[in-house]
């Protein structure tokens, strides 16, 4: 009945989409929606259309079922949202099964147990603390290697996914910090990752403040935007954390002073070109760089929106403008397709006889051959 339940949750328009992508006739799909037994070939075709593993359409393992319940607490209704949550819960359950017995992976968050989660200043201090501990003490430069830093030090399980209706999501599940990032414009992905780490830090602090164990939680950001104005406290904190993490205030000030000295520019007022160069150096979007300058009072309140709108009105994207001006290329950002320590944990369970190689490959969404290749030293990541 798992397949019928999933199909029944979709709108008629989305069922039509599944029909066209799976190659299964509409009347047959209606029968399956009403509970008719599915052929193995039909399960595979529908799973491929939905970007799910076939096993998820036949039954749900305990970890995935619990994760699905966690996601349902978000109460998102559209077919696209429901499918995205199911895909994410599938991966969350897989990570929990593979990492079961590995011990809590969220202990590093205890370093941030101080201050007020409503305070932008506290978020900035915690972002600086993150850099001091995990980025080798670099409190000034760009942090384009943030995905690798997080994975090499086993801070999070990172899933980079196609066709999500959200910019990002974060969760702590069975003491495993997890971040989901949708494949988009790479600087946008980088900011989303920093933003979701901010959510993890804020949630862990709130749990400690209430003298509770860190409970399971999920936060979904449909769009991580560099805007001002009224936000939920959690969003304010995550945005302030991400801004300082990727564009530290001292680093921005030093970079702009050095840039102006080289250009012999006047001391007052920033222009489009300087913000564009700043965005390239820190590997963030023009809009994020402009908003950061506004936060730091380097440009007047409201000017970030004007700068961004003016750039768009000229009919040229900031990226195209930067290329035409011959500005520095962006530093490569690598978002891993598979977390290396997840592969290692799966391999250890296989070696100990705690899981079959078939089950491990199923959980990771890899063929057995690909799993063997990755564990033997293959490439765990893809360059964006």
90-105 pLDDT per residue, tens: 888 889 889 988 878 8
pLDDT at residue 279, as a whole number: 95
**More confident: 294 or 64:** 294
User: What Cα–Cα distance (Å) separates residue 127 from each residue in 5, 87, 187, 257, 296?
Assistant: 43, 30, 18, 23, 16
Calculate mean pLDDT across residues 142-155: 93
pLDDT at residue 267, as a whole number: 58
Domain ranges of the chain: 1-59, 107-243, 249-324, 337-383
Q: How far is residue 304's CA from residue 287's CA, in Å, rounded to a whole number?
A: 7
Residue 82 and residue 76 in contact, taking contact as beta carbons nearer than 8 Å? yes
Which two three-digit tokens encode residue 147? 């995905």
pLDDT at residue 382, as a whole number: 33
- pLDDT tens-digit readout, 19-31: 888 888 888 888 8
Dihedral of CA atoms 55, 221, 106, 375 in degrees, nearest 10, equals 50
User: Which is it for strands 176-182 and 157-161: parallel, antiparallel or unpaired?
Assistant: parallel
Say what the pTM is.
Answer: 0.85
pLDDT at residue 268, as a whole number: 64
Q: How far is CA 1 from the centre of its chain?
A: 31
Residue 293 and residue 278 in contact, taking contact as beta carbons nearer than 8 Å? yes
**Which of 179, 178, 150 lies closest to 167, judged by CA?**
179
**More confident: 232 or 359:** 359
pLDDT at residue 37, as a whole number: 85
End-to-end Cα, the chain, rounded Å: 39
Query: Residue 118 — pLDDT band, cuts 50, 70, 90?
Result: low
Residue 75 pLDDT greater than 80, yes or no: no
Residue 175 pLDDT greater than 70, yes or no: yes
pLDDT at residue 264, as a whole number: 65
Q: How far is residue 253's CA from residue 247's CA, in Å, rounded to a whole number?
A: 10
Residue 78 and residue 11 in contact, taking contact as beta carbons nearer than 8 Å? yes
User: Per mean pLDDT, which range of 23-27, 352-356, 364-368 is the poorest?
Assistant: 364-368
The beta strands (E) that lie in the chain are given as 157-161, 168-173, 176-182, 217-221, 334-336, 381-383
**Which of 357, 381, 370 lies closest to 145, judged by CA?**
381
Q: How many Cβ atoms from other residues are within 10 Å of residue 59's Cβ?
A: 11
The radius of gyration of the chain from alpha carbons, rounded to an integer in Å, stands at 23
| Kind and range of the H or E run holding 67 | helix 62-72
Query: Residue 190 — pLDDT band, cuts 50, 70, 90?
Result: very high
Place of tokens 């490959």: 361
CA pseudo-torsion sign 262, 263, 267, 269? negative
Residue 233 pLDDT greater than 50, yes or no: yes
- pLDDT tens-digit readout, 33-68: 888 888 888 888 888 888 777 777 776 555 555 556
**Which of 377, 321, 368 lies closest to 344, judged by CA?**
377
Place of tokens 């011959």: 326
Which two three-digit tokens encode residue 76? 């998102």
pLDDT at residue 316, as a whole number: 65
* Neighbouring residues of 215: CB distance < 8 A, sequence distance ≥ 6: 172, 207
Each as own residue / partner, the long-range contacts of residues 42-46 (CB below 8 Å, 24 or more positions apart, any chain) are 43/3, 46/3, 46/7, 46/18, 46/22
pLDDT at residue 57, as a whole number: 76
pLDDT at residue 71, as a whole number: 64
**More confident: 168 or 4:** 168
Q: How far is residue 285's CA from residue 275's CA, in Å, rounded to a whole number?
A: 10
Average pLDDT, whole number, for the chain? Answer: 82
């Amino acid at each position: 009945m798992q397949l019928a339940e999933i199909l029944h949750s979709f709108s008629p328009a989305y069922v039509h989409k599944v029909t066209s992508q799976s190659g299964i006739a509409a009347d047959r799909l209606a029968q399956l929606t009403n509970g008719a037994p599915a052929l193995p070939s039909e399960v595979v075709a529908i799973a491929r259309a939905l970007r799910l593993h076939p096993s998820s359409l036949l039954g749900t393992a305990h970890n995935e079922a619990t994760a699905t319940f966690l996601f349902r607490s978000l109460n998102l209704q559209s077919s696209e949202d429901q499918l995205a949550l199911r895909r994410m819960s599938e991966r969350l359950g897989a990570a929990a099964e593979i990492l079961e017995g590995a011990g809590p992976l969220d202990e590093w968050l205890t370093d941030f147990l101080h201050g007020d989660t409503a305070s932008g200043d506290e978020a900035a201090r915690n972002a600086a603390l993150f850099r001091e501990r995990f980025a080798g003490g670099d409190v000034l430069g760009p942090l384009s290697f943030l995905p690798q830093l997080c994975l090499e030090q086993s801070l999070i399980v990172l899933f980079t996914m196609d066709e999500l209706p959200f910019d990002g999501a974060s969760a702590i599940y069975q003491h495993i910090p997890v971040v989901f990032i949708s494949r988009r414009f790479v600087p946008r992905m980088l900011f989303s990752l920093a933003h979701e780490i901010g959510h993890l830090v804020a949630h862990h602090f709130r749990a400690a403040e209430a003298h509770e164990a860190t409970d399971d939680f999920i936060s979904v950001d449909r769009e991580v935007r560099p805007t001002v104005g009224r936000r939920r406290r959690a969003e304010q904190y995550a945005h302030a954390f991400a801004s300082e993490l990727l564009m530290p205030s001292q680093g921005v000030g030093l970079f702009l002073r050095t840039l102006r000295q080289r250009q012999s520019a006047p001391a007052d007022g920033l222009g489009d070109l300087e913000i564009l160069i700043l965005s390239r150096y820190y590997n963030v979007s023009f809009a994020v760089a402009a908003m950061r300058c506004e936060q730091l009072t380097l440009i007047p309140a409201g000017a970030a929106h004007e700068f961004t709108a003016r750039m768009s009105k000229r009919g040229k994207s900031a990226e195209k403008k930067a290329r035409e001006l011959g500005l520095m290329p962006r530093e490569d950002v690598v978002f891993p397709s598979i977390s290396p320590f997840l592969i290692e944990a799966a391999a250890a369970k296989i070696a100990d006889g705690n899981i079959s190689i078939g089950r491990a490959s199923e959980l990771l969404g890899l063929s057995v051959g690909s799993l063997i290749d990755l564990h033997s030293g293959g490439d765990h990541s893809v360059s964006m």
